[in-house]
């Protein structure tokens, strides 16, 4: 026959053990809550917004799309750009110039 695992705790009552466990779990949860960073949803920009931010024309933006400098996302006829990818593209463009 297989025996179940038994853990014996001496010098503490079941109520005290329960309270200690609850307090430890609460302490860990508060540490996790302090360090928690919610995931930010991606921010999408229109062609006009991107052109304004980069101070370029829409023609230049289209050219950069064809060259692969920027990555456009299409929703039917709508074209959008992720802000984070836009910033990464600027960094890579700047590194290529140097």
| Residue 49 and residue 91 share a domain | yes
The tally of domains found in the chain comes to 2
| Residue 56 and residue 92 share a domain | yes
| Residue 52 and residue 82 share a domain | yes
| Residue 50 and residue 28 share a domain | no
Beta strands in 15-92 (DSSP E): 44-46, 73-75, 78-82
d(CA 30, CA 36): 10
Q: Residue 11 has which token pair?
A: 């010098």
The residue-averaged pLDDT of 11-35 equals: 91
| Residue 30 and residue 49 share a domain | no
pTM for this model (two decimals)? 0.56
Q: Residue 35 has which token pair?
A: 């360090």
**Could you read off the pLDDT of 35-53 as tens digits, one per residue?**
888 788 888 999 999 999 8
Domain residue limits at 22: 8-37
């Amino acid at each position: 026959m297989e025996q179940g695992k038994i853990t014996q705790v001496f010098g503490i009552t079941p109520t005290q053990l329960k309270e200690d466990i609850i307090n430890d779990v609460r302490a860990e949860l508060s540490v996790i809550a302090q360090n928690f960073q919610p995931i930010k949803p991606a921010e999408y920009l229109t062609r006009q917004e991107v052109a304004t931010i980069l101070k370029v024309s829409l023609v230049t933006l289209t050219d950069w799309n064809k060259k692969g400098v920027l990555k456009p996302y299409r929703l039917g006829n709508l074209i959008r750009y992720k802000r984070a990818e836009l910033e990464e593209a600027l960094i890579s463009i700047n590194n290529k110039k140097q």
